[in-house]
Structure 1
Amino acid sequence: MSDVLNWKTLSSEYIFKDRWLTARKDTCKTPSGKIVDPYYVLEYTDWATALPLTEDGKVIMVKQFRQALGEVCIELPGGCVDDTDDTHEDAIRRELLEETGYAFETVHYLGRTSANPSTNSNLMHMFVATGGKKVQDQHLDENEEIEILELEWSEFLQLLEEKRIVQAMHMSTIFYAMRYLDKLGYK
């Protein structure tokens, strides 16, 4: 891939740093020589999520309140890649175990996606997890309150039909997982 469209970062200044959010102001130069100042970037850690299937073929989803949207959302399990995770697979296996109490026989990497590459610096790594067995209770972070849903495939498809999953990156993961599982049907 050609890099002729790449911008050059002339300077960066952090304007806000906190546990979950870092914002910086860049001064950039485009290939045509135009100076873009300011250009704001939000820095987040990478994320990992998976479409998880139990050993008997049920789909595991989670429900939790999302403050920014002000709604209880149905989502895939997942979360931040921590400094203690050696790989993205380690991160999703840890997140699945913490949020659902399930361990998975197989975890397959589906690729990466970005919430918004014009403003966010991080990526979300997508997986499909199969052969899940309940091995422990949930071990949630201090601010997490998560309800686990174990859905038959038909119930999962109904959620999709009703457009009940609003997290766009999770929908990307679902698409790639269904493609990998050969579960896409076109009408």
Structure 2
Amino acid sequence: MSLPGEHEFRTVDSREVYSGAIVALRVDRVAMPGGREADREIVEHHGAVAVAVLDDDERLVLIRQYRHALGRRLWELPAGLLDEPGEAPLVAARRELAEETGLAADRWSLLVDVALSPGFTDESVRVFLAEGLRDVGRPAAHDEEADLEIARVPLADAVVMALRGEIVNATAVSGILALAAARSGGVVLRPTEAPWPDRPEMFSRRKRNRTGTGRT
């Protein structure tokens, strides 16, 4: 028997249960310590990017968007899926910032990477910091994004909103608290192209393979 922390959790079998527009579900049979095997349900996801947008007055640009899973509007950071094949995370972040807020930024840093719920999904989000803002105009929006509310909130107030439970989106809470901690501690942030070992790949690969075989 291996020592604690040394066991190899091999996947001995895997089957697809469902594949939709933004997620897929698979069931893996995994080798456990002591010779057991157990099923693990995994929700595959494209992954996403988000942007902590900070203006010259140290105010965060927040959006309030309807989220059907919770049945209400949430305060969030501008964000979007990494669902364009081969698109770099920073390119996606610039695109989402313009689409959701009509803003562009001259200075970008990597703030934090967040694995949303690794007990059952590979969804991970890369959160950038954007500064040096300028207006570029927001394009026409559709569906939930046509109802976006946009506000600028002092960073200190955003921290209080998170701690009071007024901001509950995991990416937003992580990004806001990380930014506040970096500001107060003088932390040097990583470059935008730093390695991202947990970027999800399986769902995108599955969709490419399906397209390549002519299946829909």
Shift of 1:13: 0.7
CA contact 2:155–2:180 (8 Å) conserved in 1:
no
CA contact 1:54–1:133 (8 Å) conserved in 2:
no
After TM superposition, the structure 1 stretch with the greater mean CA deviation from structure 2, 174-183 or 38-47, is 174-183
Query: Would the alpha carbon gap of residues 47 and 128 (structure 1) be closer, same or farther in structure 2, given more than 3 Å must change?
Result: same
Shift of 1:111: 2.9
> Which of the pair is proportionally richer in helix?
2
DSSP-derived class of the 2:132 partner: strand
Question: TM (normalized to structure 1)?
Answer: 0.86
Q: CA RMSD in A?
A: 2.3
CA contact 2:64–2:150 (8 Å) conserved in 1:
yes
- C-alpha separation in 1, matches of 2:160 and 2:176: 13
Corresponding residue number in structure 2 for 1:29 = 31
Corresponding residue number in structure 2 for 1:156 = 158
Corresponding residue number in structure 1 for 2:74 = 73
Q: How many residues align?
A: 182
Shift of 1:67: 0.7
1:86 correspondence with 2:87: yes
Query: Would the alpha carbon gap of residues 3 and 93 (structure 1) be closer, same or farther in structure 2, given more than 3 Å must change?
Result: farther
For residues 92-121 of structure 1, give each alpha carbon's deviation from its aligned partner in whole angstroms, at most 9, with x where no partner exists.
111111110100111111231111111001
- C-alpha separation in 2, matches of 1:123 and 1:103: 24
- C-alpha separation in 2, matches of 1:103 and 1:178: 22
1:106 correspondence with 2:107: yes
> Tell me, which stretches of 5 or more residues in structure 2 are unaligned?
187-216
Corresponding residue number in structure 1 for 2:9 = 7
CA contact 1:13–1:26 (8 Å) conserved in 2:
yes
> Tell me, which stretches of 5 or more residues in structure 1 are unaligned?
none
Corresponding residue number in structure 1 for 2:61 = 60
Q: Given residue 106 of structure 2, which amino acid in structure 1 is its aligned partner?
A: E
Corresponding residue number in structure 1 for 2:167 = 165
Shift of 1:153: 4.1
Q: Given residue 167 of structure 1, which amino acid in structure 2 is its aligned partner?
A: N
DSSP-derived class of the 1:181 partner: helix
Shift of 1:41: 0.4
